[in-house]
Chain A
Amino acid sequence: MKLISAIIKPFKSDDVRQALSEVGVNGVTLTEVKGFGRQKGHTELYRGAEYVIDFLPKIKLEVAVSDNIAEQVIEAICSAANTGQIGDGKIFVTNLEQTIRIRTGETGDDAL
């Protein structure tokens, strides 16, 4: 099993959710996060007080999937979240040791 975390642009979250459903993903966890990368921050101005905003709002998606669809899921996220601009985000993939469905106690791929 793989745990796939994707940092994406906030306005792309619906597109990515759609794309994930299409490749058979049944569940996603979404968090509003802030961060910085190559995309520069911006300046905000309040009555003459200027603030440089370094941390930009992003969405972090976490998906646990079985190994056989991991590649498809990654491609789905890549194509759905891509705008071609700096700041589209990143995908991190890690091995996932175990998954347990709390209600039934099922484990592994059955719990996904």
Chain B
Amino acid sequence: MNNKTKVFTLFALALLPSLASAQDELSGANTAWILTSTALVLFMTLPGLSLFYAGLVRTKNVLSVLMQCFSVAVVISLLWLVVGYSIAFGPSESAYWGGLSKMFFNGVVVDSMTGDIPETVFASFQMTFAIITPALVVGAFVERIKFSSMLIFSVLWTLIVYFPVANWVWGGGWLGQLGLIDFAGGTVVHITAGVAALVFAIVLGPRDGFLKTPMMPHNLTMSFTGAGMLWVGWFGFNAGSALAADGAAGMAMLVTHLSAATGALTWMIIEWRKYGKASGLGAITGMVAGLATITPASGSVGPAGALIIGLSGGVICYICTNYIKQKLRVDDSLDVFPVHGVGGIVGTFLAAILVSDSLGIFSGNGYAQGMTMGSQLGVQILGIVVVALYTAVLTYWLIKLVGIMTNGIRVTKDEEQIGLDITDHDEQGYSM
């Protein structure tokens, strides 16, 4: 690390008093809230996202999707122990990764601290983010992926895409040093997952009969249940990202909730006007769009700003969902890119504007010292472009590599016809 970066890091650390000193006294209140948030964010994957996704596939694949999300949680947890935490949050002086010194949680003991919370709590909280990100990607390749390919891909992808990007933005890396606003994972979680999903869907190809034969969600009540869990769990995701039980957490929770509601209402109104009816799936999709869009901005904007974020997320994600499916005919089966990827991009971009404290009722918390709307927009766009490109390129080559390792990533046409519950797991989701 050269001197310039060193000075920059020190400067950045000075701005983050809660993270700066390892000698801080433990805050019981903050610790309790992050413990709770950790459970909430894990709950988003198990079973929130799992149920949300599982309801959207056909009966013959319900178990395979639950199993994919569950398995991701299992393997990524262990990967986090082995090397993930170290790469993302290790103490290396590099601005690109955290090094290997904290492999197997080396040196993390009961008394280790991150800011004023125990390091174990911080590491567990961050682990749940590492779990949900590859679990989101699952939506792109459901109903046709080999279980082995999917597992290997998820592990390697998290290793070479998620962990480094988490370091760049949150672990003291170069994007964080530049002042990128990404409170809870617009770039780290939603853009990486969304872009990976799009690339995966293109490389893998559509499901047999895509847009020709009906592939209706087999159980929207299941999806509604999962959607509700996601909404609730997102309080931990965004308000927990304050890493404290304070006003910032309170504001993050409030704006998160408002954006979710606005996104849902926006999607309902669009469908209502266009087709004469507001669909349930549309409402919950709009909710997720609102949540994904507010994520990067949830530590910066005010309640009225959240309204703009939710509205923008709802409208733009809606347009992209239809465009990708009907015009580009890409089978990103559960719309991961148009909802999460696009939501993440829109939110990361809008954060640069709505953080401003001179927008009247729509004001946010104000810019960091030395930042203007122009310079902040520049940093945000740089973050979006670099993270998207990095993810796209590595995901593409990784899919090719996994294809070689597992002799093709896709099940046979016959297996796809029968359904992955039977062909991959020798089980059925339902016995009725």
B375 at the interface (CB under 8 A from A): no
Contact A47 B321 (CB under 8 A): yes
Q: Count the B residues whose beta carbon is within 8 Å of the partner chain — how many?
A: 16
**Closest chain A CB from B336 CB (angstroms):** 12
B412 CB → nearest A CB, Å = 24
A16 to B30: give the CA distance in the assembly, Å. Answer: 64
**11 sample A-B contacts, Cβ–Cβ < 8 Å, listed by A number:** A44-B214, A45-B271, A45-B275, A45-B279, A46-B279, A47-B321, A47-B335, A48-B321, A49-B211, A49-B215, A49-B325
State in angstroms the CA–CA spacing of A17 and B329 once bound together.
48
In this complex, what residue of B is CB-closest to A53?
B214
In the complex, whether A51 has a CB less than 8 A from a CB of chain B is yes
Q: Which residues of B are in contact with A by a Cβ distance under 8 Å?
A: 211, 214-217, 271, 275, 279, 281-282, 285, 321-322, 325-326, 335
Q: How far is the CB of A68 from chain B (nearest CB, A)?
A: 40
- How far does the alpha carbon of A112 sit from the alpha carbon of B366 in the complex, in Å? 83
CB distance from B91 to the nearest CB of A (A): 44
Nearest CB in chain A to that of B325: its residue: A48
The distance from the CB of A76 to the nearest CB of chain B, in whole angstroms, is 32
Q: How far is the CA of A49 from the CA of B214 in the complex (A)?
A: 9
Q: Which of A46, A47, A49, A51 has the largest number of chain B CB atoms within 10 A?
A: A47
Report chain A residues within 8 Å CB of B214: 44, 51, 53
Query: Which chain A residue has the least Cβ–Cβ distance from B335?
Result: A47
Q: Are B211 and A47 in contact (CB under 8 A)?
A: no
CB <8 Å contact, B281 and A47? yes
Q: Decide: A48 and B216 in contact? CB cutoff 8 A.
A: no
Chain B residues in 8 Å Cβ range of A45: 271, 275, 279
Q: How far is the CB of B342 from chain A (nearest CB, A)?
A: 13
Please, how many angstroms separate the alpha-carbon atoms of A45 and B214 in the complex? 10
Distance, CA A46 to CA B218, complexed state (A): 11
Which of chain A's residues 52-92 have a Cβ closer than 8 Å to chain B? Answer: 53
CA gap between A44 and B220 in the complex, in Å:
13
**Which residue in chain B gives the minimum CB-CB distance to A52?**
B214
Q: Which of A30-45 contact B (CB under 8 A)?
A: 44-45
A48 contact set on B, CB distance < 8 A? 321-322, 325-326
A50 smallest CB distance to B (angstroms): 9
In the bound complex, how far is the Cα of B211 from the Cα of A46, in angstroms?
Answer: 11
CB atoms of A46 and B281 under 8 A apart: yes
* Min C-beta distance of A47 to chain B, whole Å: 6
How far is the CB of B278 from the nearest CB of chain A, in Å? Answer: 11
A44 neighbours in B (Cβ, 8 Å): 214, 216
Residues of chain A with a CB closer than 8 A to B335's CB: 47
CA gap between A44 and B217 in the complex, in Å: 11
Task: Give Cα distance in the complex from A49 to B285, angstroms.
Answer: 14
Closest 10 pairs (CB-CB, A-B): A48-B322, A51-B214, A48-B325, A47-B321, A48-B321, A46-B281, A47-B335, A48-B326, A47-B285, A49-B325
CB proximity of A46 to chain B, nearest CB, Å:
6
Provide the residues of chain A in CB contact with B321, threshold 8 Å.
Answer: 47-48
Q: Which residues of A contact B325 (CB under 8 A)?
A: 47-49
Bound complex: CA A48 to CA B281 (Å): 11
Q: How far is the CB of B215 from chain A (nearest CB, A)?
A: 7
Complex Cα distance A51/B212, Å? 8
> Which chain B residues border A46 with CB–CB below 8 Å?
216-217, 279, 281
* Residue among A45, A48, A51, A53 with most chain B CB within 10 A: A48
CB nearest to B338 among chain A residues: A47
Closest to A49 in B: B325
Query: Shortest CB–CB separation between residue B194 and chain A, in angstroms?
Result: 15
Chain B proximity of A33: nearest CB distance (Å): 16
Contacts of B285 in A (CB 8 A): 47
A53 to B214 CA separation, bound complex (whole angstroms): 8
Name the CB-closest residue of A to B267. A47
Give bound CA distance, A53 to B322, whole Å. Answer: 20
In the assembled complex, the CB of B85 is this many whole angstroms from the nearest CB of chain A, namely: 36
Contacts of A51 in B (CB 8 A): 214-216
> Within the assembled complex, what's the spacing in Å between the Cα atoms of A53 and B215?
11
- Find chain A residues with CB under 8 A from B217 CB: 46
CA distance A92 to B281 in the complex (A): 40
Least CB distance from A51 to B in Å reads 4
Given the complex, which residues of A lie within 8 Å of B279, measured CB to CB?
45-46
Q: How far does the alpha carbon of A47 sit from the alpha carbon of B139 in the complex, in Å?
A: 14
Which of B214, B215, B216, B321 gathers the greatest number of chain A CB atoms within 10 Å?
B214
Roughly how many angstroms separate A51 CA and B214 CA in the complex, as a whole number? Answer: 6
In the complex the two chains form, what is the Cα distance from A62 to B346 in whole Å?
Answer: 58
A45 to B275, CA, bound (A): 9
Tell me the smallest distance from the CB of B343 to a CB of chain A, in Å: 14
Beyond the given pairs A45-B279, A46-B279, A53-B214, 16 more chain A to chain B contacts, judged by CB atoms under 8 angstroms and listed by A's residue number, are A44-B214, A45-B271, A45-B275, A46-B216, A47-B281, A47-B282, A47-B321, A47-B322, A47-B335, A48-B322, A48-B325, A49-B211, A49-B215, A51-B214, A51-B215, A51-B216
